Amino acid sequence: DAASLAVVDMTVQIVTLLFWGVIGVCALVDTSTVDTLFWPAVGGAGVLLIAVALLLYAQHAGLFGVFAQRAARKLKSERWRGITDGAAHLDRTIREIYERPGRIVLAVLIRCSTRGLMAVEIWAAAWLMEHPIPPDNAAMFIGVVGTLRAFAFIIPGGWGLQEGAYVLLGNLVGVPADIALALSLASRAREIMLGVPALLSWQLIESRGLKGLIAAGKPSELDPA
């Protein structure tokens, strides 16, 4: 069930990135002095749209179970039989989640709204730095940089990538490099202020669960095997 929720949530996140990526690119094309950005932007949006379509098709067609069944037949392992049953349950649960489209739409709206608040954050930070930027520039930073970070997910937290993207995009729309870098660091500060307490709370909860297992005399459940 948790895996099903994670898959659907990932799909919602990709749809949100597509929406805000288009907004960001449109704002960049509108405010930038470079005239060669339109068609690359259209191509990037098309790739994201195809990715979303393929992901939705894979979930509705039950491809997780299909792949697991093929692997089980080839490997002929008892462990893979259990994985096959789990994959089939995963497919069923995902389809049940999509049978509530209202909740999916609400999830997309919530994620899009949080991106909008992040754009307000960038706009307010620039104003506090006494270098105000128009709202479309703030939307451009959030939309384009967020999409780039998603593509470069292999880089933890997008460290370095986000800062370079802010400086490059700022240069295209007339924002000085030092201000663009400061805006990126301002968003980093928010991530740290919210993320670190959340991680510490998670660690505290997990440690209590671990102590409960040890006190109950069930150390075998901690063995990964």
pLDDT in tens, 30-67: 776 655 556 666 676 677 778 778 877 877 776 666 66
Q: Which two tokens stand for residue 150?
A: 């998603």
Contact between 17 and 48 under an 8 Å Cβ cutoff? The reply is: yes
Least-confidence region, from 35-44, 94-103, 182-191: 35-44
Give residue 120's pLDDT band: very low, low, confident or very high (50, 70, 90). Answer: very high
Confidence (pLDDT) at 49:
78
Confidence (pLDDT) at 6:
84
* Better-scored residue on pLDDT, 55 or 219: 55
Contact between 163 and 186 under an 8 Å Cβ cutoff? The reply is: no
Q: What is the mean pLDDT of residues 167-190?
A: 86
Q: Is the sign of the CA dihedral 122, 123, 129, 134 positive or negative?
A: positive
Q: What is the mean pLDDT of residues 87-111?
A: 86
Q: What is the mean pLDDT of residues 168-190?
A: 86
Confidence (pLDDT) at 77:
58
> What SS3 class is residue 215?
helix
Nearest to 174 by CA among 206, 208, 134: 134
Q: What is the mean pLDDT of residues 155-177?
A: 81
Confidence (pLDDT) at 83:
59
Q: Which among 61-70, 108-117, 153-162, 172-181 has the top mean pLDDT?
A: 108-117
CA distance 144 to 149: 9
End-to-end distance of the chain based on CA atoms, in angstroms?
22
State the angle between helix axes of 63-75 and 78-98 in degrees (0 to 180), rounded to the nearest 10. Answer: 170
Give residue 110's pLDDT band: very low, low, confident or very high (50, 70, 90). Answer: very high
